[in-house]
Chain A
């Protein structure tokens, strides 16, 4: 692998940071150089959260260049559209098919984009777009908070890291009472993405 630049985006509280930590730790366990940078701003809750993960043999900048992202993992639809311009042409995009309207939409001052608008924004960069029902699956698994690990499972098929390494990292980073359900979410995410045939 030359390098893999991964952008994980979502809304505060969705577990973006834990997800990007697990990607980084898994890559480290496979002897890669890793750098990771989170952009949180003032957001405690409810703001945009963006995490850059860079994997390769020697990484300098902790931030990914615009237009060079290999894999965009978005936990929310609007955020996928917002950060789509970071994708390289033909990059992989995995979008949780779920909307969290920001306050300006709730108060009627701004419009939430419809699915066609979101897709057309992403299509400017790539055709490899996978919408998956992460929130629905996480709920069906019995814990909405497994969304982040489900999304990781989906993205993992595009990364050169062994399934066992992923599951080991997940086990190390989560407390015993939620380990099994998250491993299940990871496997479910992988399966769903395989079925999506993104190429």
Chain B
């Protein structure tokens, strides 16, 4: 069977064919499609966990019970899961457990650019790095076998370019192996990490690492291919593919397992070439570890530590130190500077538009963050933000988000600012899925600490940014089954918030009243802004239109930042192909001239 698969689809198929029966994840670009693909098989259990920590704990539970399990997450997701990840390294493994982690060099859709290869070293676990979809598929069965053979979780590390690129996969199996019988072997020394047993386990972890390093020497996925001997390149992952194009004649040591490293293999390779070049994305992880073996290797002296690599960057870096000949300068200009940019926007009909417009009009916020820094006009509000589509509220025209750190941080950040005694009102803005992920504990803390902040929960009933995954608030499982939904309002009230208001995301008056009331209140307040994500709406309703006779071009509707509202020459109009219409109507509600109405009504007014 030959197919074109993305790296994520190939990882999922590889895991499925390796006999994974429990798969867990929290959505996060670029890892989301791994669980989405696995969830389509009805002979395994797949869940969107509340967050990555819980995902890891569920997978550990399955592994303790003798069933192969997979956790998939993005680079910052492993931060959230790091506590149980470290515990999984120490505890015994009764069945294979693999953590598929997708890094995001280039920060296509993340809040940082961390290099998660360091986690393998920290946790003392083996790490595999596929360099295309075929390897993503094949490496999975090795990952599970290694996990069981050495009693360790295995880290399968990809990057955006591996996870999201499609390439040809030849699958060896047609179906999944039969399920094993689940069984837990009671063993306090293996499964109860009291200090006395954790000490014993630490020695075993060190022994395991030594055995893994020996195994790495003959591991079939560490491959040498001989070319010319004056240059030897050590590389892994997608960097291998770029390096191969830049140096088609060189000798290569391509590492499929990048932790622990095969010292003898590396020393032998180095001894047979004149010069060693290490090509890797982000940190000098391979370079530092290989140099520690006494091998003189260069790389990060001229290959950038930031951003994604590509053939152009490696060529340019190699020219700078004379590894490649200078070429006669080919004037290749980049994007012409004067072209207008096309940043991502909130969709037409997005339930976040109304609340961000409202926030932008409160407390002298209607000037951009950059110009605000230069003026003496102080806003009496600080809006702490969170991770989701709604982070776009930080951009013009709303300029209504002042911080965004990591999942769930908005609530703690707001409380911390308030506790300094700062003379500003604090509003934390967080989405429903993010609130379930890691906002709940922040709210518990804020209630317990008698915070007076306002928390706005944007309840669009989905995890929109990563492509509309369900979460505990929706009551639908990753496999499309109806389960129990957590009631957001009851949850918030149960934590002890009495000032809770649920408002319609498309009712501008309600939104303004609710936010004002909450900000003016001296107790902690929660405003739940409820409105379904427009992308999930089954049908578009009749579009809106602008009555040009009534419109005086004041431009207030353009401040909504709705892509359907456009201005051409001396006219503002609504693109009826984009407008969400009667389900939204926020432009109609804010128009001071009552110039906006349903298209049919505007047209019938004209014909009168």
Contact = CB atoms under 8 A, between A and B. Distances in A.
Contact of A78 (B4, B242, B342): B342
A60 B566 contact: no
A78 B563 contact: no
B178 interface: no
B493 interface: no
A184 B2 CA distance: 29
Interface stretch (B49-57, B59-67, B73-81, B329-337): B329-337
Contacts of B241: 60-62
Interface string A20-45: 01001100100001111111111111
A65 B245 CA distance: 10
B335 A60 contact: no
Interface string A72-89: 000000110111010000
A85 B344 contact: no
A181 interface: no
Interface string B319-353: 00000000000101111101111111101000000
A60 B342 contact: no
Given A62-B165, A67-B332, A36 B4 contact: yes
B349 to A, nearest CB: 10
B16 to A, nearest CB: 21
A124 interface: yes
A111 interface: yes
B109 A81 contact: no
Nearest to A42: B344
Contact of B535 (A42, A44, A108, A112): A44
Nearest to A86: B332
Given A44-B389, A85-B333, A103 B345 contact: yes
Contact of A103 (B311, B535, B563): B563
A61 B161 CA distance: 10
A28 B4 CA distance: 8
Residue of A34, A82, A83, A144 with most chain B CB atoms under a 10 A cut-off? A82
Interface string B114-156: 0000000000000000001000000000000000000000000
B599 interface: no
B561 A103 contact: yes
A51 to B, nearest CB: 10
B577 to A, nearest CB: 7
A83 B336 CA distance: 9
Interface in B457-510: 464-465
Nearest to B164: A38
Contacts of A82: 335-336, 339, 342
Contact of B345 (A28, A38, A46): A46
B340 A46 contact: no
Contact of A111 (B165, B312, B340, B342): B340
Contacts of A67: 330, 332
A102 interface: yes
Contacts of A40: 108-109
Contacts of B22: none
Contacts of B166: 21, 24, 34-37
Given A46-B347, A110-B340, A63 B167 contact: no
B528 interface: no
Interface residues of B, number: 49
Given A47-B344, A62-B238, A85-B333, A34 B311 contact: no
A106 B565 CA distance: 8
Given A34-B168, A60-B241, A82-B335, A107 B397 contact: yes
Contacts of B389: 44
Interface residues of A, number: 51
B335 A37 contact: no
B438 interface: no
Contacts of A110: 340-341
B108 A41 contact: yes
Contacts of B275: none
B558 interface: yes
A12 interface: yes
Contacts of B238: 62
Contact of B161 (A21, A63, A81): A63
B344 A46 contact: yes
Contact of A39 (B108, B168, B336, B341): B108
Nearest to A100: B342
B310 interface: yes
B340 A105 contact: yes
A4 B563 CA distance: 35
Nearest to A102: B342
Given A85-B332, A103-B563, A47 B168 contact: no
Nearest to A12: B344
B79 to A, nearest CB: 20
Given A103-B561, A107-B397, A124-B333, A61 B311 contact: yes
B567 interface: yes
A44 B344 contact: yes
A112 B339 CA distance: 7
A44 B464 contact: yes
A142 interface: no
Contacts of B512: none
A79 B335 CA distance: 10
A66 interface: yes
Contacts of A36: 4, 165-167
The 5 closest A-B pairs by CB, nearest first: A110-B340, A62-B165, A47-B344, A43-B344, A37-B165
23 contacts: A25-B4, A44-B347, A44-B389, A46-B342, A46-B563, A47-B342, A47-B343, A59-B167, A60-B242, A60-B245, A61-B241, A62-B165, A62-B167, A62-B238, A65-B311, A66-B332, A67-B332, A78-B342, A82-B339, A106-B565, A110-B341, A111-B340, A113-B338
Given A12-B344, A38-B164, A107-B558, 13 more contacts: A36-B167, A37-B161, A40-B109, A42-B344, A44-B464, A44-B535, A61-B242, A62-B238, A62-B241, A78-B342, A82-B336, A103-B343, A106-B558
Interface of B: 2, 4, 108-109, 132, 161, 164-168, 238, 241-242, 244-245, 310-312, 330, 332-336, 338-345, 347, 389, 392, 396-397, 464-465, 535, 558, 561, 563, 565-568, 577
